[in-house]
Amino acid sequence: MPPAAQRLVLACSGGMDSAVLLHLAQQTGWPVQVVHIHHGLQPQADAWAAHVKKLAKNAQLPCHVLTIQPNPDEGGLEAGARKARYAALKAFLEPGDCLLTAHHADDQVETLCLRILRGTGPMGLVGIRHCQPFGAGYLLRPLLDVPYQALRQYAQCHQLSWMDDPSNQDTSFERNYLRHQVMPLLKARWPSMQQTMGRLARLTEETEGIFSELLSDRIGQHRLADAPLLAVNTLIQESRAMRFAIVREWLAELGWRPPSRRQLDQGLDDLLFADDDRQPVLKWADGQLARFNGALYRLPNPLPAGLRSAVIRRGETCSWGQVGTVHWVSTALPEQGDLLEMRPFSPGDRVYLPQRPPQAAKELLRQARVPPWWRSQLPFITNSASEVVAIAGVAPSAAFEFIPNADPALGDWRYFHGSVTVSPRPAVAPRYCDVPVGRRKK
């Protein structure tokens, strides 16, 4: 168990493997919470939730049902469900929580086979990890070395109750086809393949740990002094392979899966070698990479959403949706009364600052070096005449304090102001700089 562990949070689907995990968890002496994700994708979804509640009640454990709405546009329905499921579980965890899932040895073998068939890189051979940081806590898979048949025997021996998911028999899904059509043939020919592939995953994980330590030092050579962003002017001095490795490890710091090699091949070149007046963005399921002011940013996908409108009173602090909070300094803008409205940026906005002529909001944001993805997110403060009298966190800088959402899961989202700059840095050790053909600057 991680040293900071305080509570077990058991992700329970109601299937056989999670029923075994629940039975084992309640014998540990640790405080346990049961959580069930209601996907709403099957007619039996309500019955699954009711069954998990019954299991938790019989075990005298608290149970929470989290309802999600998977987005099929995020890489398909399965990928969308996975992303929504893990986002809900991350949001549920508190510091010191250990989320337990019931992945077992058969799951590990299937995952490794699927990744190999899809052309995974070396680190994809780690497969499913035993333990990793997750949200405010940790994600643990204590059954990962236990075969499915051993779990089934345990469940039958202890007369546990579970429900079988009928979708697990649908061989139109890749994993189910592999499980029912391919794995029996492989196991018949190579009976020890489960142990062998499990050993492959463990050895690869050890090797990855060594590379991760080495790459962490390398990342430090490119990280800005005042933010965890990467400086473009030093990163481009690395070899192409090293650049890819650094960016993948940098994303792994947040627990994000990197984009595919094909996406990274083209997208990273666009980010690093674009002209200074361009702001290219590389998007994939887990996040976004963006460039601004000579630095690379890790951004969530999608970006946090603000509000359409809100009212703020003098001296008050109020929320601006998922984006952050705004505080009106009580002594600021006395001529504007005690009540103002907030709204997002609108094309053509002009800002009426005290003792200054009206100025185009777009130009004001550019002068303040606010990144493009933030310009439509910051709250614009308007008076009774619908005039923009302030931009929270930008101008007047002492009037409205803006505190961005600092959730670690949002990556570098919170760095919205021009105070983050790339200053000249000593070059890294000389290496060749392989600028892609057709992209070398004049």
CA distances from 416 to 52, 323, 388 (A): 43, 11, 20
Q: Which residues contact 21 (CB under 8 A, 6 or more apart)?
A: 10, 12, 100, 101, 102, 142, 143
Beta bridge partners of 287: 300
Instruction: Establish whether 163 is an annotated binding residue.
Output: no
Neighbour-count burial of 101, counting CB atoms closer than 10 A to its CB (0-12 exposed, 13-18 middle, 19+ buried): buried
Q: Which of 403, 395, 399 is nearest to 326 (CA)?
A: 403
Q: What are phi and psi of 32, to 5 degrees?
A: -125, 135
Distance from C-alpha of 176 to C-alpha of 381, rounded to nearest angstrom: 54
Instruction: Establish whether 13 is an annotated binding residue.
Output: yes
Instruction: Establish whether 337 is an annotated binding residue.
Output: no
Question: Which residue shows structure tokens 């906005």?
Answer: 349
Kindly provide the b/e burial profile for residues 71-97, where b requires at least 16 CB atoms within 10 angstroms of the residue's own CB: eeebeeeeebbebbbbeebbebbeeeb
Instruction: Establish whether 330 is an annotated binding residue.
Output: no
Instruction: Establish whether 384 is an annotated binding residue.
Output: no
Instruction: Establish whether 255 is an annotated binding residue.
Output: no
Instruction: Spell out the long-range contacts of 363-370 with Cβ–Cβ below 8 A and sequence spacing 24 or more.
Output: 364/391, 364/394, 364/395, 365/391, 365/394, 368/394, 368/395, 368/417, 368/418, 369/293, 369/417, 369/418, 369/421, 370/394, 370/416, 370/417, 370/418
| Binding site members for ATP | 13-18
Annotated binding site: 13-18
